[in-house]
Structure 1
Amino acid sequence: MNNGIKIVTIGGGSSYTPELVEGFIKRYTELPISELWLVDIPAGQEKLNIVGNLAKRMVEKAGLPIKVHLTLDRREALKNADFVTTQFRVGLLDARAKDERIPLKYNVIGQETNGPGGLFKGLRTIPVILDICKDIEELCPDAWLVNFTNPAGMVTEAVLRYSNIKKVVGLCNVPVGIKMRTAEMLGVEPERVQIDFAGLNHMVYGLNVYVDGVSVMDKVIDLMANPDNSMTMKNIKNIGWEPEFIRGLKAIPCPYHRYYYKTSEMLEDEMRAANEEGTRAEVVKQVEKELFELYKNPDLAVKPPQLEKRGGAYYSDAACNLINSIYNDKRDIQPVNTRNNGAIASIPDDSAVEVNCVITKEGPKPISVGDLPVAAKGLVQQIKSFERVVAEAAVTGDYNTALLAMTINPLVPSDQIAKQILDEMLEAHKEYLPQFFSAVEA
């Protein structure tokens, strides 16, 4: 480690990469990176070159001795890495568009990480992440794997269950977004706010809120009961909660909870959006096009403000913070996806949960929350069962297991509709799901 830190980013051609680079530059005195390897696949080569050249300009402008390498050879990049970050999308945005559009035909929500879309993103992604894990075990066994590929909780679950890698942390920007928005509602600086987070990825609850160590939860619930104060993200329609519901829940739901607590309104809005402006994937394609045009400009040597539109605000900052805290044994508190180890009483110890952890050089130490509120517990357990069954289906390529996963998801109304959606989506994503087709073809 003495000769500087080596970081490998798989999915290096992502539009988010400049934010990651900015985060590393900002923390260079504490986190002396000597090599940053940006890895992508042949289909992403053009984007990798554009983003990679911007990254090099950013480092040069900062006057730092960080070497930025661009490669399509993952194995070459991984040798002796200290940290590996993953931010890829199997099938690119076209696959996401299918995940969002196909379920709508059956009056079911089509979304990137929830319902049938989340299931298929998991089926495509898990085999790839497990393949990367094999390379890590062989080429950089001491490296930390920091995953922000969605569905982050499901991917972390699969790594914990089906690989030999123990040093894995899943990361999401949702808790950071909730903290920022809560601070804004309270009119205080974000660093004075601490929230007790517990649940699953994209299904995390804020159980208590403190300002300067004093609980202000009642005040936050009152503020959230005002529909003008509802929290959301670029990719989720901001539909306010019923005030009495929030008062009854006595917890902060995350933006993704709308799919479960406001299913019919969200479905209706998705149908309208798909017809009028296109699905979120189609909108993002346009945003990305504009971003990459900006990134091409040889005079640009900073992260452009337009990146905020992409919906992943704070993502990379959260990643840089996490890496910094592991490397420097900071022992600060961050919400991450990790092995439960008894932190949440009603979830198995060996499952991935999203919970506040003390971040040490040995990794995240989950902070025990006891049990989830009765009102939240059942839904969280149901989604955890769904994630585990999806991971099993992804690894085995077993059709029956995939159908079971689809049917037990709360957004899918029956086994018959589940089967129709499953069959159509399997066909649509065939090239990225060899585990389901190789046996059939053989």
Structure 2
Amino acid sequence: MKLTIIGGASAYTPDIIEGLLREHALFAGGELCLHDIDDIHLRVIERLARGLVRTAGADLRVTATRDRAEAISGARFILTQPRVGGLKHRALDERIPLKHGLIGQETLGLGGFAFAWRTIPLMLEIVEDVRRLAPEAWIINYANPAGMVTEAVLRRFPDARFIGLCDMPTGLQWGIGRLLRVDFHRIALDYAGINHGGWVSRVLLDDRDVTVRLRRWAALLGPVARLLPLREETGTVRLFREHGMVPDPYLRYYYYKDQILRHLLSAGRTRAEVLMERLPRLYEHYAAVALEERPVLKEHRGHQSHADLASQVIAAMAAGRPTRFVIQQRNGGAVRHLPPDEAAQFPAVVDGAGFRPIPQPALPREEAELIAHIKASETLNVRAAMEGDRSLAVQAAELNPLGAPRPLAGRVIDELLAAHRPYLPQFA
């Protein structure tokens, strides 16, 4: 069995490899192939990966290549996590909208739109390569903005063996598990919506509904959360208390838009700029532990839930072990208030044959309308990215709840197009 990671030089990769190695017997005698265009960091991760394989006592060969076709050929699972333009261009996605009084965010609003313009063409090329060079392979996607990437792939390749992932629902499971003092793998979510825009109507612990119990805690914690700075955890508690459902934490950007915008405008650095300072030290750590005979990671790029989700999905498919996850794929009626032929995010049972959606109950009207509104703007932006159509991008910017009316929408879109020009040949 061959597993390929496209974007293998990412700082997220070592944790994902550790997750895969927890069930390394599934991949015994196989190959782990890392692909990236960043040769320096690719070689660091390659050396570290070989050390992690030794530490786990796994029978797994590690290879690395800058040749994408070589990486894809013969693979059974392909994890995609490229970042087109790197953190430098993510910083532009965040900073340019802020100059105009708009939220700059990696996956939401006009920053997320610009990221989609860069990522979608590459992901479509990758899927086309996989269909030609590894037609039986499953693509497990982490590339952001994940929802718009999934929408584009399904539009171009309706039958693609493709599953989009986001670690936000898994992060909610982890947080709820910690609150209930249980292993978060015992938690399941009834989730309906899109990537970074959905609601959990029920929380299940070993198939028992514990939502009412959690609502009581939210009622107690809500007043305290209102007194604390608006962050992921406090925003989630506040929205849960106000709506009676657990939100995707990113919904705070829509419901508390003005408060978050003030914070972003007053902050000295964007999130990308913070990461640009931090990541060199993280790669230094990776390089240092890679020299050890049995390396052990002491520093990590992201939350445990990120690596756990990708590795668990691949393991469930490799083992043919039916397991429930929240995924992104064609809606097909699983999320009632969204178009059935477009991408959505919902629970599904994943196994060796693929996935089976678990239909979700309808959301209340107010919450459903906001998500449908966001989805409609993102679908327009996907078309803009695929067709290289500036006018569609402007329409999407006007429609999005974090966007802007004319003429400001056009000015921000033009500035983003100019800033990312080397990565946007479709708009030429």
TM-score (normalised: structure 2): 0.94
Asked whether the 8 Å contact 2:236–2:252 carries over to 1, the reply is no
Say whether 1:11 aligns with 2:7.
Answer: yes
Measured after TM superposition, the shift of residue 45 of structure 1 is 0.9
Asked whether the 8 Å contact 2:3–2:75 carries over to 1, the reply is yes
Q: What are the superposed Cα offsets for residues 33-87 of structure 1, whole Å, 9 maximum, x if unpaired? A: 610110011xx11111111110011112223221111110000111111011101
Asked whether the 8 Å contact 2:163–2:328 carries over to 1, the reply is yes
TM-score (normalised: structure 1): 0.91
Measured after TM superposition, the shift of residue 302 of structure 1 is 3.9
Please, which of 404, 414, 420 is the counterpart of residue 413 of structure 1? 404
Say whether 1:387 aligns with 2:350.
Answer: no
Amino acid paired to 1:171 = L
Instruction: Indicate the residue corresponding to 1:304 in structure 2.
Output: 297
Measured after TM superposition, the shift of residue 211 of structure 1 is 2.6
User: What are the within-5 Å matches in structure 2 for residues 32-71 of structure 1?
Assistant: 32=28, 34-41=30-37, 44-71=38-65
Q: CA RMSD in A?
A: 2.0
Using the alignment, how far apart are the partners of 1:8 and 1:242 within structure 2? 35
Measured after TM superposition, the shift of residue 347 of structure 1 is 1.2
Using the alignment, how far apart are the partners of 2:280 and 2:287 within structure 1? 11
User: What are the within-5 Å matches in structure 2 for residues 165-244 of structure 1?
Assistant: 165-225=159-219, 226-227=221-222, 237-238=231-232, 240-241=234-235
Using the alignment, how far apart are the partners of 1:229 and 1:160 within structure 2? 43
Using the alignment, how far apart are the partners of 1:302 and 1:341 within structure 2? 45
Instruction: Indicate the residue corresponding to 1:91 in structure 2.
Output: 85
Please, which of 246, 255, 280 is the counterpart of residue 271 of structure 2? 280
Please, which of 69, 73, 80 is the counterpart of residue 74 of structure 2? 80
Of 89-98 and 150-159, more deviation after overlay is shown by: 150-159
Asked whether the 8 Å contact 1:259–1:266 carries over to 2, the reply is yes
User: What are the within-5 Å matches in structure 2 for residues 240-251 of structure 1?
Assistant: 240-241=234-235, 246-251=240-245
Amino acid paired to 2:14 = P
Amino acid paired to 1:167 = R
Asked whether the 8 Å contact 2:43–2:64 carries over to 1, the reply is yes
Return 5+ residue gaps in structure 1 as ranges.
231-235, 438-442
Measured after TM superposition, the shift of residue 240 of structure 1 is 2.9
Using the alignment, how far apart are the partners of 2:4 and 2:388 within structure 1? 29
Instruction: Indicate the residue corresponding to 1:252 in structure 2.
Output: 246
Instruction: Indicate the residue corresponding to 1:440 in structure 2.
Output: none
Q: What are the superposed Cα offsets for residues 165-204 of structure 1, whole Å, 9 maximum, x if unpaired? A: 5210001110111011112223333233222122111112
Please, which of 113, 134, 138 is the counterpart of residue 132 of structure 2? 138
Using the alignment, how far apart are the partners of 1:208 and 1:70 within structure 2? 43
Say whether 1:350 aligns with 2:344.
Answer: no
Q: What secondary structure does 1:145 align onto?
A: strand
Using the alignment, how far apart are the partners of 2:408 and 2:342 within structure 1? 29
Using the alignment, how far apart are the partners of 1:173 and 1:302 within structure 2? 26
Measured after TM superposition, the shift of residue 301 of structure 1 is 4.3
Instruction: Indicate the residue corresponding to 1:371 in structure 2.
Output: 362
Instruction: Indicate the residue corresponding to 1:127 in structure 2.
Output: 121
Measured after TM superposition, the shift of residue 353 of structure 1 is 1.2
Asked whether the 8 Å contact 1:7–1:33 carries over to 2, the reply is no
Return 5+ residue gaps in structure 2 as ranges.
none
Amino acid paired to 1:396 = E
Asked whether the 8 Å contact 1:137–1:164 carries over to 2, the reply is no
Instruction: Indicate the residue corresponding to 2:24 in structure 1.
Output: 28
